[in-house]
Homo-oligomer: A and B are copies of this chain.
């Protein structure tokens, strides 16, 4: 049985690193706060006697040895956050993994296969795109060199920042080779909480499409330039953003669309914007529908830019097709949940997760616990302590089942 207090204490302790006035945390990937969070987590791994490896993209893996020298059963997640994030997103999966190891250790239990607890670099994608960067590189889905060269809006590259915080590790990416992967995470959405259920058995992850649009117009005087003579980058940006939102309402169903980031230049009240840069986040569980949404936005953007006489360019920041998790891992999670007497629901994940990358190289699955009011990427993100404890217990059972095979 895992120790709920110890789990809660470790969540609170890591939550102190990069804490924001008024609650929540800001531990954007590869910042000083991320470095401090990493140091704290590594110290905990070493305390548990685990062998720690840091790879070339800064992913950290800690191994609890098994009785046989086999590829490990891996769990884990990430410890980076968005700029105004909560205490649970990612952190919970990593610390629950360490709680499982602490429990096994206290009980003097060694499974047949080793158990690995990992945290992957830049899962959030808030500072560097794409998201899930560390796990994507781990599974060979993105060349290391390309990931290292990625530049943030603040001008720094992944490589510079890894060097600066001392996490450009010596290990080759993709080591160790993994037997199977199970990630425990808060749902981040409203489904489990609304339905009063305890555990989400995640069947897969929806498709994710991130695009950055840059509109280049001509700055001019807001008081002297007739509407018909304008090349207003701002108006094109807001029209496309409104179209993107309308598209999600028009498609209905599981189509989601968000314009979360926008910058105008020179960004002054009486100057027609010369440039607008904004992002579009489109998601759907159905690949064909997602591709159709992308094509519609693309076409509208081109038409809208042409009508205003401005240039419109696009840069793909991330694109992942929907992922289905391994049916055996999914049903193993469901069985163990029921065996513990907990209520379960099969559901897809709305958020992207490291598990969807690991699914490319081994059987993988995910366990969700409820998020109160479905809040996440918000400083008020919260999960009840009982739910946190139950999720960790399911994780322990599932990891043991996999490790004993």
Taking beta carbons and an 8 Å cutoff, which residues of A are in contact with B? 82-84, 124-126, 129, 131, 187-190, 206, 208, 210, 212, 218-227, 229, 232, 234-235, 237-239, 241-242, 245, 248-249, 255-274, 279, 281, 283, 317, 349-352, 374-378
Give the oligomeric copy count. 2
Please give 18 more A-B residue pairs, beta carbons under 8 A apart, in addition to A190-B225, A220-B377.
A82-B270, A131-B270, A220-B374, A221-B376, A221-B377, A222-B256, A232-B258, A234-B241, A235-B241, A235-B259, A237-B238, A242-B242, A260-B272, A268-B377, A269-B279, A270-B281, A270-B377, A274-B378
A-B contact pairs, 24 of them (CB 8 A): A82-B266, A84-B265, A126-B270, A126-B271, A189-B221, A190-B229, A218-B378, A220-B376, A220-B377, A220-B378, A222-B283, A223-B350, A225-B256, A227-B255, A237-B238, A238-B238, A238-B242, A242-B242, A261-B264, A261-B267, A268-B377, A270-B281, A271-B377, A274-B378
Task: Give the secondary structure class of A's interface.
Answer: loop
The interface residues of chain B lying within 8 Å CB-to-CB of A220 are 374-378
Q: If the complex has contacts A226-B190, A234-B259, A262-B262, are A271 and B82 also in contact, measured as CB distance less than 8 A? A: yes
The interface residues of chain B lying within 8 Å CB-to-CB of A374 are 220, 224-225, 229
The interface residues of chain B lying within 8 Å CB-to-CB of A248 are 227
Q: If the complex has contacts A241-B234, A241-B235, A264-B261, are A281 and B378 also in contact, measured as CB distance less than 8 A? A: no
The interface residues of chain B lying within 8 Å CB-to-CB of A226 are 189-190, 256
What is the CA–CA distance of A264 and B238 in the complex, to the nearest angstrom?
Answer: 12
What is the CA–CA distance of A229 and B258 in the complex, to the nearest angstrom?
Answer: 13
Nearest to A248 among chain B residues (CB) is B227
Q: Are A260 and B264 in contact (CB under 8 A)?
A: yes
Q: Are B224 and A82 in contact (CB under 8 A)?
A: no
The interface residues of chain B lying within 8 Å CB-to-CB of A232 are 245, 258
What is the CA–CA distance of A99 and B21 in the complex, to the nearest angstrom?
Answer: 56
